[in-house]
Amino acid sequence: MERTVMEENKQRQIKGVRISTVNMVMILISCILYILLISATVRVSGRYEEVHNSMEDYIACEESSALLTDGSAYLTEQARLYTVTLEPEYMENYFTEVYDTRRRETALEQLKTYYDGNAAYEYLLEALQRSNDLMVDEIYAMRLISQAQGYDEAGLPEAVQSVVLEEADQGLSKEDMVQRARAIVFGSKYQEAKDQIAASVASTMESIHEITHQKMLDNTAGLASMMAMQRRLISILFVETVATFIMIIMLIIKPLQVHVNCIKEEKMMEVTGSYEFKYLALTYNDIFEVKNANEAMLRYQAEHDPLTGIVNRGGFDQLKTMFRMNQIPMGFLIIDVDKFKLVNDGYGHEVGDQVLKKVAKLLKEGFRATDYPARIGGDEFAVILPNMTADLSAVIEKKIMELNHTLLHPDDGLPQVSLSVGGAFSKSGFTDDLYKKADEALYEVKENGRCGCRFYQEQ
């Protein structure tokens, strides 16, 4: 009940921004900004893809127009070569282009994919039709050459076989037939038809250029708009990130530094920072006050051995309880004065008491101010070593050797004595088996001649 009242009073005292609330707000803002940014990025990618596709379409259509032009020019070239050289292979090349290669038809099919029903497609279709019309004259000229050369009718292409010469041409001599064929494919009428084909192809390219240019303008404008939106979102995200870091510094890092310094200086924490840190500081301060009071009480009760002036058995037990709750690495030593009974029997109890005082004084002076030497029996001592790890065992062994050297070479008239020491380490405070492990190590020292120090080793 009392604890609940204290908690309520503590909460009423605290005023501050909650980290959890700030965190949720920042996460929400970040999520919204990231979603908008991803959306803008996707739209930018889409616009870029449209621009890219427009260029690809333009290049493809340009290639299609060039393909029709090349195909038509190739037919003209082969027809003219046939009339000039009279070699049948040129006629064969001509009809290979017409029936197999079919570059003109392929060009029209490709353009239809992009501009079906558009003016560009109509212009190219017109160019193909003009080229087909021109083929009539070219095939007629081939018929004249074939007949003038007397080629076998059956060996001629079907299109040439089906041509019937005009009545005026049938009576021409072979030389005149050749001249007539050349006049057809090299004449002004033929060239005019070729110019019309070129004009239709040029109109196709002009139409494609206009359409592509308009697409590029539209897509570029859309791309610029999306990129401007992207820049704005990135700027907002940058500001939000900077604000987040500033709040982290003000609400978390700075209070942490203050609290760490307070802990290092072993003083009460300043109540600063966010709500959570203020609550932590007040709670720590309560614990700090209780801890100081408990430690003062333990130290007071521990200094009551009337003979040696060090911690007695009762204080030792309280220290064990305290270090069971304090989960820190530590060491523990059990120390026996070797053959102390002989000193008592041989020199008397008064001398024996002087020896015990000397041992207690050496233990206090030989170990750190933060260590706890204690007398836990008649001639039995112990030392609790907080914040001590096994890698420092050699330092402890050296210290015990120095103590034994002092006790074995007395300069105060007291008899020689030595210490047998057994030690053990724990990573998590004074565990239940720490005393047992140290006692086992002490047993080994006694079994091996006494006057020494050993630490418990896991089997």
Residues 85 and 215 in one domain: yes
Residue 372 has pLDDT above 90, yes or no: yes
In a domain, 135, yes or no: yes
Output the pLDDT for position 234: 86
Task: Return the pLDDT at 303.
Answer: 64
Name the burial class of residue 432, with classes exposed (0-12), middle (13-18) and buried (19+) by CB atoms within 10 angstroms of its CB.
exposed
Q: What is the pLDDT of residue 82?
A: 86
Query: CATH no. for residue 393?
Result: 3.30.70.270
Beta bridge partner(s), residue 330: 386, 426
From 336, 338, 371, 379, the catalytic residue? 379
Q: Residue 11: what pLDDT? A: 56
What's the mean pLDDT in 167-173? 85
Last residue of a domain, one of 302, 320, 343: 302
pLDDT score, position 54: 66
Same domain, 148 and 215: yes
Q: Looking at mean pLDDT, say which of 122-131, 150-159, 240-249, 393-402 comes out highest.
A: 393-402
Under DSSP, is residue 378 helix (H, G, I), strand (E, B) or coil?
coil
Query: Mean of the per-residue pLDDT values for the chain?
Result: 84
pLDDT band at 5 (very low <50, low <70, confident <90, very high): very low
**Structural contact between residues 240 and 26, judged by C-beta atoms closer than 8 angstroms:** yes
Final residue belonging to a domain, choices 225, 253, 288: 225
Sheet of 452-455: strands edge to edge? 372-375, 380-386, 330-337, 419-426, 452-455
Q: What is the 3-state secondary structure (H, E, C) of 324-354?
A: HHCCCCEEEEEEEECCHHHHHHHHCHHHHHH
Asked whether residue 339 carries a pLDDT value surpassing 50, the answer given is yes
Residue 91 within a domain: yes
**Confidence label for 301 from pLDDT (cuts 50, 70 and 90):** low
Tell me the pLDDT band of 298, cut-offs 50, 70 and 90.
low
Domain count, the chain: 3
Q: Residue 61 pLDDT > 90, yes or no?
A: no
For residues 432 and 323, is the Cβ–Cβ distance under 8 A? no
Both 171 and 25 in one domain: the answer is yes
Residues 332 and 443 in one domain: yes
CB of 407 within 8 A of CB of 362? yes
Quote the distance between the C-alpha of residue 309 and its chain's center: 62
Q: Exposed (0-12), middle (13-18) or buried (19+): which is 126, by Cβ within 10 Å? A: middle
Q: Of 225, 248, 283, which closes a domain?
A: 225
* 205 against 54, higher pLDDT: 205
Do 290 and 323 share a domain, yes or no?
no
Per-residue pLDDT of 228-269, as tens digits, reads: 887 888 888 888 888 888 877 877 788 878 878 888 887 887
Instruction: State how far the Cα of 1 lies from the Cα of 360, in Å rounded to an integer.
Output: 46
**Residue 285, domain extent:** 1-15+274-302
Residue 325 has pLDDT above 80, yes or no: yes
Q: Let me know whether 76 and 146 are in one domain.
A: yes
- One domain, residues 45 and 116: yes
Determine, yes or no, domain membership for 163: yes
Q: How many other C-beta atoms lie within 10 A of the C-beta of residue 339?
A: 17
For residue 235, being part of any structural domain is answered with no
Catalytic-residue membership of 379: yes
Number of C-alpha atoms within 13 angstroms, CB side, residue 2? 0
- What share of the chain has pLDDT > 70, as a percent? 92
Task: Report, as an integer, the average pLDDT of 276-287.
Answer: 77
Domain presence at residue 31: yes
Confidence band of 334 (pLDDT split at 50, 70, 90): very high
Comparing 1-10, 175-184, 342-351, 395-404, which segment has the lowest mean pLDDT? 1-10
Asked whether residue 208 is assigned to any structural domain, the reply reads yes
Q: What pLDDT sits at residue 4?
A: 56
Task: Look at residues 403, 443, 413, 418 and name the one whose alpha carbon lies nearest to residue 342.
Answer: 418
Q: Is 381 helix (H, G, I), strand (E, B) or coil?
A: strand
- Whether this prediction's pTM lies above 0.75 is answered by no
Classify residue 107: in a domain, yes or no. yes
Residues 392 and 290 in one domain: no
The answer to whether residues 120 and 33 belong to one domain is: yes
Q: Are residue 298 and residue 421 in the same domain, yes or no?
A: no
291 and 354 belong to one structural domain: no
203 and 106 part of one domain: yes
Taking residues 82-105, what's their average pLDDT? 88
Q: According to the model, what pLDDT value does residue 404 have?
A: 96
- The answer to whether residue 239 sits within a structural domain is no
Provide the 3-class DSSP secondary structure of residue 273.
coil
